[in-house]
Amino acid sequence: MKERLLVTSALPYANGPIHFGHIAGAYLPADIFVRFKRLNGADIVFICGTDEHGVPITLSAEKDQISPKEYVDKYHKVIKGIFDKFNIRFDSFGRTTHPDHYDLTQEFFMNLLKKNLIKPSMAKQYFCASCNKFLADRYVKGTCPKCGHNKARGDECTSCGSWLDVLELKEPSCGICSSVPELRETKHWYLQLQDMSAQLDQWLSEKKHWKENVITWVRSMIKEGLKERAITRDLSWGVPLPLDNTEGKVLYVWFDAPIGYISITKQWARDIGKPDEWKKYWLDPSCRVMHFIGKDNIPFHCIVWPALLMGQVEGYNMPYDVPANEFFNLDGRQFSKSDGWYIDIEDFFTRYKTDSIRYAIAANAPETRDSDFTWKDFQGRNNSELANIYGNFVHRTLAFIIKYFDETIPQQPAKLSEPALKAREEAHRLIDEISSCYNNYEARKACFLIMEMGRLGNRYYDSEAPWATRKSNPDRCAETIGFCTELISYLAYVSYPVIPESAAKLWRMLGNMTEIDMIPWDRIKTIRPAGFKLKNVAILFEKIEDEQIQAEIDTLLKNCEKAGGVKPASPAASTAAPASGPVVNIDDFRKLDLRIAKILEAEALPKSDKLLKLRVSVGGETRQLIAGIAKHYQPQQLIGKNVVIVANLKPAKLMGEVSQGMVLAAKNGDVLALLGPDADISDGSQVS
């Protein structure tokens, strides 16, 4: 039976454009996975859309003097445009302001309410009369009761970092208009997460296949104890409560957002003219639901969202897996438009190709820990991997066919020679390995193995030297080139999930009539392109010049400076480590036995370029020291010198030689200088 999957990527918040960090965490990995699974014949629906409610949107809209609706319309389009540029293909890119979504969200609420998993309760909250709205904690400003800082936020003091209860804040003012808010009683509804923790824990305990970081993190959260959580707020923008006398109250955005996964699937079903089709994915238990997210979303998708699903009567499929990625930063710091620490995506695509960036991100994806985008890395991935290894292997082979085989892929002999058979075996092994990487969300390793295949091709090509056999052994030459095109077919195919556009283009260059994504994965090993006439052969990946990358780096730094952001420390500023560290007392210092030693003999250690073996005299005693100073001193120039050594250092073995102490030297970058006494003094003298 066909594998059936419903894959989602976290719904981006329609409050601004998304950046590389988002792409690397939740979207590109999902797109690669979906493309791979489709090649394997899986029946998949890939869902995403914009999350369009919540306070930040209302505030941003106000700032721009447009309605929230106009505001999210704008960003829905902007974000969709970005996904198109990245060639991330959702079956449906919906939105949470769709009427279907309102209906379904209210249904979710009512079901939970009936099961007593949502309960109302009264709370005190600041209300700003001039803004005519209740204020979320973080929008109340005031004086911190702990440190007296006068610009503390209601949830946290920005100066001392303490956690605050908004009610203990002194001299509160409205964070939006600065007028004095009043305390009002208001009724809110709370999700009773604590009542579901046993059920959630039981459910999670079965998730043996989840990523370890996800499962341990979530289960420890449950162990710490779940608390009820407010799901409503006083606002006009959002899904209204489906109860009487609750005007001005909407469901909190986090409550309605994940429900979007289902409501958008419904929108999709309607769009394709089969309104019940969504049930195959959400109600049929054979379908696996997978949520690709960034790590910041783990609690929502592994606790809150399953809890919402458990409280329903429909019997929706629970998440089968939640592949969460870590963060993708820009050279060590989170992307931040307000700090000028960002890359303008529109601008980016005027100069670079989609597949270059897809590859660069995938090859460096934050699968197990945070990772970085750097311009240098991007250039390196593009030039030395895509262009030099992958692109060049393709090009040298195809150019050869054009020149010497009349643009037609030569036939391979019925029985291949030994080197080709060995290379084929290796290539087939790589295909299997790449397949399992894609299955395990290891795009990064898959990229590496794709390049391994490219290297395999180049190695084979070099060892066969078809440019020589062309004259000496034309049959062998034809076999070589024929087999290289077989390798290129593999290469195009296995790289398709990551670089779909280039792979498809390459596939067509080889003269294939069938589109690459119509070939099932289990047939790929039998592909034998021969007799095809090449079509539209062209360079796949252009190189990126150093000057251009430097210009990008300069632009980034300039933007950062303009925004008043902190410029990253220039590595050229200082090579010496700052003179600081833990403070020691005099007793600690006295533990060191520092002595003057006279160097009697010095010789280089044969197998080391850094170490010198010294014989020194310390007050009549002779010792052997190993010192890492060979790059800075010739053995001869050391003989007779007085130096300072640590005499009571525990002896250590370096390169098989015992070192009974340590010679002191000062170091700054590449400069190194030995310490010695200012005047002549006998060896063995104590240093204090």
Which stretch, 54-62, 410-418, 419-427, 472-480, contacts RNA (CB under 7 A)?
Answer: 54-62
Does 625 bind RNA (CB under 7 A)? Our answer is no
Which stretch, 280-288, 311-319, 361-369, 509-517, contacts RNA (CB under 7 A)?
Answer: 361-369
Of 471 and 590, the one with the shorter C-beta distance to RNA is 471
Of 98 and 455, the one with the shorter C-beta distance to RNA is 455
In our burial notation (b when 16+ CB lie closer than 10 A, e otherwise), range 175-204 reads bbeeeebeeeebebbbbbbeebbeebeebb
Least CB distance to RNA at residue 269 (A): 26
- DSSP-derived secondary structure for 122-185: EEEEEEETTTTEE--GGGEEEE-TTT--TTEESSB-TTT--B--GGG-EEEEETTT-PPPEEEE
Which stretch, 298-306, 415-423, 428-436, 506-514, contacts RNA (CB under 7 A)?
Answer: 298-306
Reading phi first (left if > 0) and then psi (alpha if -120 to 50, else beta), residue 321 is in beta
**Tokens of residue 436, six digits:** 């399992």
Does 138 bind RNA (CB under 7 A)? Our answer is yes
Does 461 bind RNA (CB under 7 A)? Our answer is yes
Least CB distance to RNA at residue 640 (A): 26
Does 585 bind RNA (CB under 7 A)? Our answer is no
Least CB distance to RNA at residue 217 (A): 6
Q: How far is CA 626 from the centre of its chain?
A: 44
Nearest-angstrom CA–CA distance, 334 and 366: 13
Selected from 168, 276, 296, 561, the binder of RNA by CB under 7 A is 296
**Tokens of residue 571, six digits:** 């590595």
**Residues 6+ positions from 159 with CB-CB distance below 8 Å:** 144, 147, 149, 151, 152
Size of the site for RNA (CB under 7 A): 85
Of 317 and 480, the one with the shorter C-beta distance to RNA is 480
Does 465 bind RNA (CB under 7 A)? Our answer is yes
Nearest-angstrom CA–CA distance, 154 and 170: 10
- Name which of residues 375 to 394 contact RNA (CB under 7 A): 377, 380, 384-385, 387-389, 391-392, 394
- Name which of residues 269 to 288 contact RNA (CB under 7 A): none
Q: Give the residues across from 599 on adjacent strands.
A: 616
Least CB distance to RNA at residue 639 (A): 24
Least CB distance to RNA at residue 373 (A): 10
- Name which of residues 214 to 233 contact RNA (CB under 7 A): 216-217, 220-221, 224-227, 229-230, 233
CA neighbor of 426 nearest in space, from 437, 438, 414, 418: 418
Nearest-angstrom CA–CA distance, 191 and 308: 9
Does 637 bind RNA (CB under 7 A)? Our answer is no
Map residues 7-26 to x or -, x wherever contact with RNA holds by CB under 7 A: ---x-xx-x------x----
Does 624 bind RNA (CB under 7 A)? Our answer is no
Nearest-angstrom CA–CA distance, 219 and 204: 7
Nearest-angstrom CA–CA distance, 183 and 384: 63
Of 389 and 446, the one with the shorter C-beta distance to RNA is 389
Largest alpha-carbon pair distance within the chain?
A: 98
Does 55 bind RNA (CB under 7 A)? Our answer is yes
Does 193 bind RNA (CB under 7 A)? Our answer is yes
Nearest-angstrom CA–CA distance, 461 and 95: 51
- DSSP-derived secondary structure for 503-524: HHHHHHHTT-SS-GGGS-GGGG
Does 410 bind RNA (CB under 7 A)? Our answer is no
Nearest-angstrom CA–CA distance, 439 and 585: 57
Of 389 and 516, the one with the shorter C-beta distance to RNA is 389
- Name which of residues 439 to 458 contact RNA (CB under 7 A): 451, 455, 458
